[in-house]
Structure 1
Amino acid sequence: MTERLITHLRHVDLAVPDHAKQLDFYTNTWGLKAEHTDSGLTFLAAEGSPEQYIVRLRQSADKRVDLVSFGTATAADVDTLAGRLAADGVQLIGEPDTLQTPGGGYGFRFFDNEGRTVEISSDVAVRQHRTIEEGESIPVRLSHVVLNSADPEGTVAFYGKHLGFALSDTLMHPRMGNMMWFLRTNAWHHSMAVARGPHPSLHHASFELRGIDEYMRGTGRLLRQGVEKIWGPGRHRAGNNTFSYFLDPHGNTVEYTTELEVLDEDSWHPHVYDFSDPEVSDQWGTANAMNEFVAQRSFNDPDKGLFVAPPV
């Protein structure tokens, strides 16, 4: 396996037609904090995270995922990854350079096998953050991002070969075969997952809350505010994390979660879970059934940003 130089997930950047409506949702409803704002561009931080921002919102005619960003430990690791990717024929959007985003740093962007923009960076300044208090139902950090793929086997292979992601577990269905692959880049069960879908798009972005009580309070708060719930609350088997999935104003699925499993990587062996078993989807049995409605919403709209680098 490729030497692992990626240390963690940093942020997910979304472009949407109605920036103001999206910003209102992520700050006043979801619980993020707008730290840096320009016309039609906002960087949103989690109060408990040292990352400068975990979500970026950009005004655009097209709804798209602008990019997914991962961190490395050093600038030398950034250069190593850029060199390896280029040597393997992966299309770089630019050579490693100083980043012009909050916190600065050093990094580069490239297109993955299906045309998503991925950013790799190091030396980004740490944001002043705080300990989330008991009862505070706001995100502590960005937990993971799940991507829909029309070629999931190829996408999983790409991230394993080029970026050193390791497979934690797989979900399968007796009629449909393998459907979701959970990939890790540190001891967390997954920082990214790849789902079989009709087109490349965002499946969901997941946000970690302080604990079970805060997770349930957050779920209840969104329900009271009339935010459309897709699936949950429940607890998955793979990753052992809780889940409550909601739709943001532009139809992206976002998740509140907590207690994602931390693995002993030296002894871990991947499982294949059959998600036609209700306990695989939800150990508690409290969530609504995983059905066509839930699946359709998770497919999202086809991403309009493939092989087109975001302007910022």
Structure 2
Amino acid sequence: MRDGSPITHLRHIDVAMPNFAEQRQFYTELWGLTEIAADTGVSFLAAEGSPEQYVVRLRREAHKRTDLIAFGAATAADVDTLAAQLVRQGVQLISEPQPVTTPGGGYAVRFFDNEGRVVEVSADVTPRQHRQIEAREPIPVRLSHVLMNSPTPEATVAWYIKHLRFRLSDTMCVGSRGEVMWFLRCNTFHHSFGIVRGPHAAFHHASFEMRGIDEFMRGTGRMRRLGIERLWGPGRHRAGDNTFSYFLDQAGNTVEYTTELEVLDEDTWHPHLYDLREPANADQWGTANEMDEFIAAKSHNDVDPGLFVAPPI
């Protein structure tokens, strides 16, 4: 474990929804992921440029929920060590470390975070045979990061720092209204995970890295031509220095195309506090549509009925 942290990277985000067929079509035919395995009401979707077996798992369910957030660990021993630490710290395990039966196999532990989200940490997953994304090919290279809404964000950020040893990269605030968004890293990417102040615990957005600016813009244009609801972008954030174009998938979850996420020097980086009242802190380019409370509210998402409830798979 580097600096005591068991987490090496983000693996996948697993979501459930009633309109499974529409979601499956959206992510494969429109968003640019590849289905590598499927069963009745379940679909495993890979990013062509990523060695991860899959980056999104879709599951049919009567009510929309986040099934789990999955991170990687270097070794099975790290998974065992983490599980023992979590138990000592009073974290509720869903399952003891055990073999994984999803594509790629592996060895994993599952547990609830402080607000009831399901987190999985796994090792020894067989890498997927992937490929280099070509120039002008507007499909995701990898899953970049996932952010979650929280009504108690300070406590949730502290939980991930304490128990999983995430490091704080930057924070966003809105003047005297206080801090609203926290970016957390588990490797040298500016963020792989983050927390947003919201009215309830729920999925905020998942972001997918594109090959470069041209591929990012081509993907953005494709979504707009197809009539997919655009929330915000294209633009370029200050925190992370990455590009952004946000859309809504067929279940009302926010998804993002991005590229050029900042890579940090762990030895010299110090977190910043950026005030969103300064427009360049939200969009350095000034090309995105203006963010307002109505647009922001769409990423608050629905109340998640899956808190402190383990998914069936």
Q: TM-score, normalised by structure 2?
A: 0.99
Partner of 2:234: 233
1:9-158 equivalences under 5 Å are 9-158=10-159
Please say which of residues 287-296 and 31-40 is displaced more in the overlay.
287-296
Which residue of the partner structure matches residue 296 of structure 1?
297
Aligned pair 1:269/2:270, yes or no? yes
Paired with 1:74 and 1:233, the residues of 2 have a C-alpha distance of 39
Write the distance in 2 (CA, Å) between the matches of 1:205 and 1:188: 15
Query: Residues 227-284 of structure 1, C-alpha deviation per residue, up to 9 Å, x if partnerless?
Result: 0000000000000000000000110000000000000010000000001110000000
Unaligned runs of 5+ in 1: none
What one-letter code is carried by the residue in structure 2 that aligns with 1:238?
A
| Cα distance in 1 between the residues matched to 2:210 and 2:295 | 23
Residue 224 of structure 1 corresponds to 225
Shift of 1:293: 1.6
Count of matched residue positions in the alignment of Structure 1 and Structure 2 = 312
Summarize deviations over 1:142-196 as a string: whole Å, max 9, x none: 0000000011001000000000000000000113200000000000000001000
**Counterpart position of 2:250:** 249
| 1:200 partner amino acid | A
CA distance in 2, matches of 1:49, 1:2: 26
Instruction: Name the SS of the counterpart of 2:94 in structure 1.
Output: coil
Structure 1 runs (4+) deviating above 3 angstroms are: none
Distance 1:208 1:242 in 2: 9
Deviations 1:62-89 (A, max 9, x none): 1000000000000000001100001111
State the TM-score, normalizing by the size of structure 1: 0.99
> Deviation digits for residues 71-130 of structure 1, max 9, x if unmatched?
000000000110000111100001000001000000010000000000000000000100
RMSD (CA atoms): 0.9
Partner SS, residue 199 of structure 2:
coil
State the 1:294 CA deviation. 1.6
Q: CA deviation digits over 1:180-217, x for unaligned, max 9? A: 00000000000001000000001100000000000000
Distance 2:304 2:266 in 1: 33
Partners in 2 of 1:214 and 1:175 — Cα distance?
38
* Offset, 1:220: 0.2
Q: Distance between the aligned counterparts of 1:292 and 1:164, measured in 2? A: 32
Q: What is the distance in 2 between the residues matched to 1:187 and 1:47?
A: 22
The one-letter code matched in structure 2 to 1:17 is P
- Displacement of 1:2 in angstroms is 6.9
- Report if aligned partners of 1:232, 1:243 keep a CA contact under 8 Å in 2: yes
Residue ranges of structure 2 left out of the alignment (5+ in a row): none
Q: Secondary structure at the match of 1:213?
A: helix
Cα pair 1:2 1:162 within 8 Å, conserved: no
Q: Aligned pair 1:167/2:183, yes or no? A: no
